[in-house]
Amino acid sequence: MTPKKFNQDLFRFIDQSPSPFHGVRYMEKQLKATGFLRLEEKDAWNLEANGRYYITRNGSSVIAFIMGKEQPWESGIKMVGAHTDSPCLRVKPEPAQNSNSMTRLGCEIYGGTLLNTWFDRGLNLAGRITCRIIEDEKERLQSILINYNRPVALIPSLAIHLDREANKNRTVNPQLHIPPLFSIGDPEKSLPFKEQLLARAKEEHPGTGIQEVIDYELSFSDAEPAAYAGIDNEIISAPRLDNLLSCHAALKGLESAAPSSTAMVVFTDNEEVGSDTLAGARGSFLESVLSRMAPTPEQFARTAARSFMISCDNAHAVHPALSDKHDPNHSPTLNTGPVLKINASQRYASDSESSALFRHVCRRAGLTVQNFVMRSDLPCGSTIGPAISSQTGIRTVDVGAATLAMHSIRELSGSNDPFMLFKALNKFFSLDEPPLLSLT
């Protein structure tokens, strides 16, 4: 595997994952193709040594694991976590806003979106719709995924001539300015939004007996595919690098590992809105899966105490024009190595023991580790690491690939960064020794 091939695979994943639902469906296909068996939360499980399994929740989170020879409470679980969601625009239930023969779609802002980057870009529309279906004369509800997979809307900027101060102080009002322009013409003559969705659903899923779209979770995203940039292709420019880059690196790391003890990836939804959801890292998904691998309270406690998680989420690379936004001694750069994230207020779960283990893994993989700590006069963001660590009692380190323009509609990373993260995670899964250090 070369970085180039690895990136091709990453680009395909990003392009085919405009929503967490699509991302999980894509990963599911990869898992099936590499021998992972689907388990259902509602069924009884029979886990076998060396077995490969995965479970999804809400279609937007997935946990996959390879069972070790020994029980999880005997040798622990090596875990890597990441999130499947990215900041975006979520379509409201009654979205149509008509004026001057133009229809815009009202949206809520999902996550900490950098809104000014969303103007004048082709926007794709994708997500989950729940439909009334009639099959063999029986009526039922079913959710399906749709993806227009092309620019179906955009948000036009106001011309500079109508706002001469725009370059000084244009602000974005999400209610007034963000609803993307979806169609032009007499709204009386165009199909209502749900009818449009119905037509698209029938086109994507012919012969499935879809009668009506009852509800939906649809979001706009950048329609432009992931691409290289830079004079030597040393940069990646892509939507949703935060955090599909990490999901991809972790999945590849697991698939190609030959772990001696149980190894697991945990990809959860809703990190960008706090993780406190059905499928989020603060929800019950991981704990529920772990408690079925280690059913008694004692087995669970022993498993947690012997396990280790690398929580992966992108890290802020130092900006070429605004380097003073970083602490000068903790300014990660692109194409240098994975970033270890540290915060005294524990907005990141890293501590000296978990950090030491990550450095140890990277040294074994021949990688340089960079350190990120926020400036002491700026507040720090957070991620899934502290949620998982505090809820399960699993020692965790927060790391990530260096990234510029985080939460922009297009984010940048170095073209070697995804592969370096993969090498670190693959090495972690392949470590012979137990994941926990015996320092204490």
CA distance 383 to 387: 8
The upper half-sphere exposure of residue 328, i.e. CA atoms within 13 Å in the direction of its Cβ, equals 1
What number of chain residues touch Co ion (CB under 5 A)? Answer: 3
Residue 147 forms beta bridges with which residues? Answer: 126
Range in contact with Co ion (rule: CB under 5 A) among 117-125, 182-190, 207-215, 306-314: 306-314
Residue 227 forms beta bridges with which residues? Answer: 237
Closest among 148, 147, 92, 158 to 120, alpha carbons compared = 158
Q: Is residue 182 within 8 Å of 103, Cβ to Cβ?
A: yes
Q: How far is the CB of 353 from Co ion (least distance, A)?
A: 24
Q: How far is the CB of 395 from Co ion (least distance, A)?
A: 21
Q: Is residue 240 within 8 Å of 55, Cβ to Cβ?
A: no
Q: How far is the CB of 22 from Co ion (least distance, A)?
A: 17
User: Which residue lies nearer to Co ion by CB, 217 or 242?
Assistant: 242
User: Which residue lies nearer to Co ion by CB, 243 or 415?
Assistant: 243
User: Which residue lies nearer to Co ion by CB, 242 or 398?
Assistant: 242
Q: How far is the CB of 304 from Co ion (least distance, A)?
A: 24
Number of Cβ within 10 Å of residue 186's Cβ equals 10
User: Which residue lies nearer to Co ion by CB, 242 or 417?
Assistant: 242
Helix orientation angle between 241-255 and 417-430, rounded to the nearest 10 degrees: 40
Amino acid occupying residue 66: I
User: Which residue lies nearer to Co ion by CB, 303 or 396?
Assistant: 396
- Say which residues have a Cβ less than 8 Å from residue 141's Cβ, sequence separation at least 6: 130, 131, 132, 133, 214
| 242, 255, 411, 417: residue in contact with Co ion (rule CB under 5 A) | 242
Range in contact with Co ion (rule: CB under 5 A) among 87-95, 99-107, 241-249, 259-267: 241-249
User: Which residue lies nearer to Co ion by CB, 293 or 405?
Assistant: 405
Range in contact with Co ion (rule: CB under 5 A) among 141-149, 198-206, 242-250, 364-372: 242-250
Q: How far is the CB of 124 from Co ion (least distance, A)?
A: 20
396 contributes a contact to Co ion by CB under 5 A: no
243 contributes a contact to Co ion by CB under 5 A: yes
Range in contact with Co ion (rule: CB under 5 A) among 15-23, 125-133, 311-319, 338-346: 311-319
Q: Is residue 91 within 8 Å of 148, Cβ to Cβ?
A: no
Closest among 250, 243, 247 to 272, alpha carbons compared = 243
User: Which residue lies nearer to Co ion by CB, 15 or 313?
Assistant: 313
Q: How far is the CB of 85 from Co ion (least distance, A)?
A: 8
| 85, 217, 313, 417: residue in contact with Co ion (rule CB under 5 A) | 313
DSSP string, 26-65: HHHHHHHHTTPEE--TTS-----TT-EEEEEETTTEEEEE
Q: How far is the CB of 121 from Co ion (least distance, A)?
A: 21
CA distance 263 to 32: 17
User: Which residue lies nearer to Co ion by CB, 261 or 311?
Assistant: 311
DSSP string, 255-284: HT---SSEEEEEEES-GGGTS-STTSTTSS
Q: How far is the CB of 410 from Co ion (least distance, A)?
A: 15
User: Which residue lies nearer to Co ion by CB, 89 or 152?
Assistant: 89
Range in contact with Co ion (rule: CB under 5 A) among 313-321, 363-371, 419-427, 430-438: 313-321
User: Which residue lies nearer to Co ion by CB, 96 or 109?
Assistant: 109
Q: How far is the CB of 300 from Co ion (least distance, A)?
A: 28
Q: How far is the CB of 88 from Co ion (least distance, A)?
A: 13
Q: What proportions of the chain, in percent to the nearest 5, are helix, strand and coil?
A: 30, 30, 40
255 contributes a contact to Co ion by CB under 5 A: no
Please state whether beta strands 370-372 and 235-238 pair in parallel, antiparallel, or not at all (unpaired).
unpaired
Range in contact with Co ion (rule: CB under 5 A) among 117-125, 204-212, 309-317, 411-419: 309-317
What x/- string results for residues 262 through 301 when contact with Co ion is judged by CB under 5 A?
Answer: ----------------------------------------
Beta strands in 230-348 (DSSP E): 235-238, 262-268, 308-312, 315-316, 339-341
CA distance 307 to 77: 5
What are the tokens at 278? Answer: 């059905």
Q: How far is the CB of 170 from Co ion (least distance, A)?
A: 27
What x/- string results for residues 203 through 222 when contact with Co ion is judged by CB under 5 A?
Answer: --------------------
What are the tokens at 263? Answer: 């190894």
- Say which residues have a Cβ less than 8 Å from residue 140's Cβ, sequence separation at least 6: 132, 133
Q: How far is the CB of 370 from Co ion (least distance, A)?
A: 17
What are the tokens at 105? Answer: 């779609």
What residue ranges bind Co ion (CB under 5 A)?
Answer: 242-243, 313
